[in-house]
Chain A
Amino acid sequence: EAQVTQNPRYLITVTGKKLTVTCSQNMNHEYMSWYRQDPGLGLRQIYYSMNVEVTDKGDVPEGYKVSRKEKRNFPLILESPSPNQTSLYFCASSFSLAGVNTQYFGPGTRLTVL
């Protein structure tokens, strides 16, 4: 089954404790992206990757890191989480240009930083 998976689905952590949210897709997509969803703001792009070893900042990259060492995986790293990073996070992938290709979204990761 074609899908985007994220782990963990729920995470409660404390300020400053490094964490990684994994994202994996099985559709051989080149383009992957991370979004955060906050009430009243819709989804905002954090980082995206056009292909292996090619990443770039989205609209709200501060406090986040990403890597793309393999085509299927695109982990999101919070080196020192803060309470303002409490949010719902979505990973997405598509074949190439996001504008013309449908993005497929993962189920989301709800992160709470205390």
Chain B
Amino acid sequence: DTTVKQNPRYKLARVGKPVNLICSQTMNHDTMYWYQKKPNQAPKLLLFYYDKILNREADTFEKFQSSRPNNSFCSLYIGSAGLEYSAMYLCASSHRGTGYAEQFFGPGTRLTVL
């Protein structure tokens, strides 16, 4: 099973409220990624977990949190949503091993902040 699952598929949030998105994979991949995708823009890497080590991008460092309670699950947490957070959030996983490997993407969660 090469499926990456994301929940929920659609999320409506109010400005100032928290948002928690969930991603799971059963491929035993060591690395899980979160991307933000806005219309007509490239997917933008927000952060990734390699095993239990979290790497956050410098320009989104304070905006997004994440946790990985076990190898299969990874969450993306927004403490206080703003209108600019409205986007598609894509989770991906890969097995880095000794070299770079294919990233498998989930279907995405479309977040709308009102």
Do A and B originate from a single complex?
A: no
State the B residues within 8 Å of A (CB): none
State the A residues within 8 Å of B (CB): none
